[in-house]
Structure 1
Amino acid sequence: MLPLRIARARRLLRNLLFLLLGIGIGLLGLRVWQTQNGPALQAWHRFVPADLHAAEIEGMDWAGYLAAEAALFESVRRNVTERLEPEDRTPLNRYFEGSPVYPPRFRQDWNRSYLLLPEGPPRGAVVLLHGLTDTPYSLRHIARLYQSHGFLALGIRLPGHGTVPAGLTVARWEDWMAATHLAVREARRRVPAGPLHLVGFSNGGALAMKQAMEALDDPGRGRPDRLILISPMIGITEFARFAGLAGLPAMLPSFTKAAWLGIVAEFNPFKYNSFPVNGARQSWRLTRALQAELDRRTRAGRLEGLPPVLTFQSVLDFTVSTPAVVNGLYALLPDNGSELVLFDINRNSMLGILFRTASETALGRILPPAIRRYRTIAVTNAGEGEDAMVARVTEPGATQSRDLPLRARWPEGVYSLSHVALPFPPGDSLYGIAPDPADEAFGVQFGTIAPRGERGALRVPLDGLIRMSSNPFFEEMTERIGQMIEAR
């Protein structure tokens, strides 16, 4: 009887393996079909500039990093811009010298690393870390806020970014971490005394947290006094974990397009639209390394030295996991004066009847029941169907909240913020819903676009055009950051 059962179990296992193999081959074939029928790769997808890697960066100073960066952009000019095919020399292409979105034509190319100096001697320093596919442009308004408070502001371009999307096909998260180390070293070299702050947006938020924890063991790393995280990438969807499998066909020369999750026209002067598989894979690796270190230090009781963390996060975020910010970070933080600001949906939106139940109940589901060790601020409507907005504040250890009125209101037709909106004011020239005429123009104003018409007519995906790209509560957000800057 036993041999018969063993034989049946073996047959079942064999059949299951054949089934899984068949599914795998089918998925691989589907992936090949998708890529082969998608858009063609262009010069900016094929040319991989020789960006710096971790081993080189760790032994480099700021001047060396800037020199290497300048050589990098020159290589893009020679190998991409000067070699464009005639059909690629269009106003839509950021790599065409005659395009209104060609970055070198602007007063400052915000794809590159920068230093902003205050008028007098710096009283502190801040390092600003941008997100995945992004550039130092995304935190320029926060940098200027710090500059106005007497801080030196250093925004570093992370390897693989700011040049061509192909740069992200070879970058690794360890390269981004090494660049973070270098930026902190330079900030401390220039301002040896005074507070040191780290500001991280999205993927940069994970780097800022990792840097802060490394400094607990090695003060020579540059121990920050404050962390400001904006839509931090503490956790991302599980799809990114398996994104590397989507790129397997790219191992064969005929299927190189499989190395890309998205191949899109590059019309944004300061952000990639195309997205390589490796970008998702490296972000997943970074968040896994960060979470493992947080868990290890929590078990060992070694998070007590972390500085206060101020985080701004939309309850609806398609890119990062908002619950991971709450449960994977804030639930582990010591009682050190940290604060979490959550932006709720617009409960007065005429689109209310179209909301998914999960969207309507997101705020209540995300936050654990009080008592919490950190201050919580929910930016929400004063009441269901009301225009007035409040900051609903729950202090650490409290069970009751209090409402503080806010000046800002939701713009008409806007039902929520998005992952990309938080660091940009409504007056941002590129992303703002009401661009400030005094701000430098960058050839296009994405925040003002409200397309209406038939599908299939545009050369760009509608998803990227209708996504909220600026923050109507930016002024309140910067006021809170300013209060933290001035806190002793």
Structure 2
Amino acid sequence: MTQIIPTAEPFFFSGDRSKPACLLIHGFTGTPKEMRWMGEFLHEKGFTCLGIRLAGHATIPEDMIRSNWTDWTASVEDGYFLLRNFTDNIFLVGLSMGAVLSLLMSTRLDVKGIVSMSAPYKLPDDPRLRHIEWIAKMIPFMPKSDEEPGASWFDKEAFKTHVSYPQNPVRSIGQLNQLLGEMRAALPKIKVPVLLIHSRDDKYVPPESVEMIDVNLVNAPDRSKLYITGSGHVVTRDAARRQVFESVLEFLRRVEPQLEP
């Protein structure tokens, strides 16, 4: 069995059982570490937090190649039912692909609200996506960016301890593309409160994604948007993270009184 990368393990913080719980979901090629600081912050405020590891992540990139998008949704389901042992009031809190999963899975699971951070609406138009499975057999990995690692981070010290796969598994890009299609179809079906957070300085996912998602949330009873600056894509670890954490806490506290005990 492949070992999990040190410091990238899943985590569980048991909080006040009278409060809702948060299922924290990391991003594409990322690890639970992306969500740990947020989990620690929310736990200090009394919330139970579970940071899951998505299938194929936080080990070796070859494990991710063997994973399908349905394995990632299954990882979310597993975490959700673990939290159901503590409370029926569960929020999905996701970053990037974790946000995509949160939006999609809110239509399949009984959740009370969604926090979506740095979520893409779609991948950039690229004709290679139509042939991604074939390309992946020839080129299993591709660079994440042309820039130097960490160049888009504002908190350089935080980047030094960031953990993710150094390259994108090409086949997994195709799986992400399929997952995004499922999410887009699910958006009008979402019927719980949603908080959308995005950095205007995100170099990986355009901030316009927020509006594309928001306009399709036609049945969500409570939709709010927060644009931040001074942060790259990983808003849960970069320089503006405290603003993100406080905004998530405010959202949870606003929705919490509406929940049945």
TM-score interval (norm. to shorter): 0.7 to 0.9
Partner of 2:233: 419
Which digits, 9 at most, give the CA deviation of each residue in 1:159-205, with x for residues without a partner? 1100011112121111000111111111112224xx31110000000
The AA in structure 1 aligned to 2:121 is I
Which amino acid is the alignment partner of residue 116 of structure 1?
A: F
- The residue number in structure 2 matching 1:205 is 99
Which secondary structure does the structure 2 equivalent of 1:280 belong to? Answer: helix
**Match in the other structure for 1:288:** 181
Q: Does 1:261 align with 2:142?
A: yes
Structure 2 partner of 1:12: none
- Partner Cα separation in structure 2 for residue 268 and residue 151 of structure 1: 25
Deviation sequence 1:326-348 (CA, Å, 0-9, x none): 12x2112246221101125xxxx
Tell me how far 1:243 sits from its aligned partner.
4.0
Matched, 1:317 2:202: yes
- CA displacement 1:25-53 (0-9 Å, x = unmatched): xxxxxxxxxxxxxxxxxxxxxxxxxxxxx
Residue of structure 1 in register with 2:40 after alignment: 144
- For the 8 Å contact 1:173–1:282, the answer to whether it is kept is yes
Partner SS state of residue 197, structure 2: strand
Corresponding residue for 2:70? 174
- Cα distance change, pair 268–165 in 1 and its aligned pair in 2 (3 A): farther
The residue identity in structure 1 corresponding to 2:49 is A
Deviations 1:427-462 (A, max 9, x none): xxxxxxxxxxxxxxxxxxxxxxxxxxxxxxxxxxxx
Aligned residue number for residue 215 of structure 2: 331
Task: Provide the rounded CA distance (Å) in 1 between the counterparts of 2:179 and 2:107.
Answer: 14
Residues 205 and 147 (structure 1 numbering): CA distance in 2 closer, same or farther, change over 3 Å? same
**Which residue does the alignment assign to 2:119?**
232
CA distance in 1, matches of 2:171, 2:184: 20
Distance 1:117 1:335, change over 3 A: closer
8 Å CA contact retained: 1:125, 1:196: yes
Greater RCO (CA < 8 Å, at least 6 residues apart): 2
Aligned partners of 2:75 and 2:114: how far apart in 1? 17
Q: State the AA in 1 paired with 2:163.
A: F
Matched position secondary structure for 2:208: helix
Aligned to 2:167: 274
Matched, 1:474 2:251: no
- Secondary structure (helix, strand or coil) at the match of 1:229 reads strand
- How much has 1:142 moved relative to structure 2? 1.2
SS of the counterpart of 1:181? Answer: helix
Mapped contact 2:192–2:220 kept (Cα < 8 A): no
Deviation string 1:373-401 (CA, Å, 9 cap, x unpaired) is: xxxxxxxxxxxxxxxxxxxxxxxxxxxxx
* Paired residue secondary structure (1:158): coil
Selected match of 1:307 from 192, 206, 210: 192
Q: CA deviation at 1:247?
A: 6.1
**C-alpha distance 151-244 of structure 1, shift in aligned 2 (>3 A):** same
Give the one of 113, 118, 121 matched to 2:10: 113
In the other structure, the counterpart of 2:30 is 134
Using the alignment, how far apart are the partners of 2:135 and 2:24 within structure 1?
36
TM-score (norm 2): 0.82
For residue 314 of structure 1, what is the amino acid of its counterpart? S
Secondary structure at 1:339's aligned position in 2? strand
Q: Aligned Cα RMSD in Å?
A: 2.6
Structure-to-structure mapping, 1:406-485, within 5 angstroms: 416-420=230-234, 422-424=235-237, 470-471=238-239, 473-485=240-252
User: What is the alpha-carbon distance in structure 1 between the residues aligned to residue 83 and residue 19 of structure 2?
Assistant: 12
On the 8 A contact 1:246/1:259 being kept in 2, the answer is no
Residue aligned with 1:147, SS: helix
Q: Give 1:259 deviation, angstroms.
A: 1.6
* Counterpart in the other structure of 1:360: none
CA distance in 2, matches of 1:483, 1:147: 14
Deviations 1:274-296 (A, max 9, x none): 221012111111111111233xx
Change (3 A) 1:243 1:131: same
Q: What is the identity, as a one-letter code, of the residue corresponding to 1:231?
A: S
1:284–1:147 CA distance, 2 compared to 1 (3 A): same
User: Structure 1 stretches (4+) deviating beyond 6 angstroms?
Assistant: 266-269
Q: TM-score, structure 1 length as denominator?
A: 0.46
**1:143/1:482 Cα in 2 relative to 1: closer, same or farther (>3 Å)?**
same
Distance change (3 Å), C-alpha of 1:230 and 1:249: closer
Answer whether contact 1:123 1:150 (CA < 8 A) is retained: yes
The answer as to 2:138 corresponding to 1:245 is no
8 Å Cα contact 2:34-2:162 kept in structure 1: no
